Amino acid sequence: MRQHLLIDADDTLWENNIYFERAFHQFCEFLDHSTLTREQVRAALDEIELVNAEIHGYGAANFGRNMIQCYQHLVERDISPADAGYIAEIARRINDHPLEIIAGVPDTLDYLAGRHDLILLTKGDPHEQQRKIDLSGLARFFRTTLIVREKDPPTYRKVVEDHTLAEHRSWMIGNSPKSDINPALKAGLGAVYVPHVNTWHLERQEFVQGERLRVVDRFADLRALF
């Protein structure tokens, strides 16, 4: 039976968080704090990101804003007028890397698109996400591509309603328990977890209980499910 497959993008179809991790490493080296460990610096940045995500959303530009705020909070030396520009440039370079499609993705999408209804569903800055979609060349496999501010149960319910999807034949596929798996299950959809070793730690959660939760080892394994 034809299914509706909502598929995540970052760290599901292409690499993403590794570049944010590299930017964070550069940020820690620039901060050069005398006593705080990297984990403690990350914890301070996490607090800022959790607050600002509700206001500004996600993406490299917002990550740069968060790092500047964290720097101003933690720095032990006089702040130079050039410091904020340097940190913003660290974040800007996140978008300079070539887009790296995850192994097995194009062939698997080609297989799935011939059998099911595919919708790309990603969250983040609209300009950044659309740029990655365009660079990927993968839009041809999807009926439509959607960029949303947040992935929560109301978002999934709205997608189901707007695109006339049958809940019992709809699945969210992605690497994030927080954004892809748990809210989809709460909204009445099925969910397929495709783990990624570099999933952003703020996107990690324990799974909620759900009969329609599936787990695969890699994206290519979706062929065995659908």
Average confidence (pLDDT) per 10 residues, the chain, 226 residues: 96 96 96 96 95 88 94 94 94 92 98 98 95 97 97 97 96 97 97 95 89 96 97
Longest dimension (CA), the chain: 64
**Could you tell me which of 141, 108, 100, 127 has the C-alpha nearest to residue 18?**
100
Residue 27 contacts residue 67 (beta carbons within 8 Å): yes
Q: Is the dihedral of CA 148, 151, 154, 156 positive or negative?
A: positive
Q: What pLDDT was estimated at residue 75?
A: 95
Strands in 117-123's sheet, in edge-to-edge order, are 144-148, 117-123, 4-7, 170-174, 190-193, 213-215
Q: Could you tell me which CATH number the domain at 4-15+98-225 has?
A: 3.40.50.1000
Topology of the domain comprising 17-96: DNA polymerase; domain 1 (1.10.150)
Q: What share of the chain is helix, strand, coil (3-state, %, to 5)?
A: 55, 15, 35
Q: What pLDDT was estimated at residue 223?
A: 97
Residue 141 contacts residue 135 (beta carbons within 8 Å): no
Rounded CA separation 205/190 (Å): 17
Q: What pLDDT was estimated at residue 54?
A: 84
| Residue spans in the chain of domains classed CATH 3.40.50.1000 | 4-15+98-225
**Could you tell me which of 2, 3, 1, 7 has the C-alpha nearest to residue 184?**
7
| Residue spans in the chain of domains classed CATH 1.10.150 | 17-96
pTM for the structure as a whole: 0.93
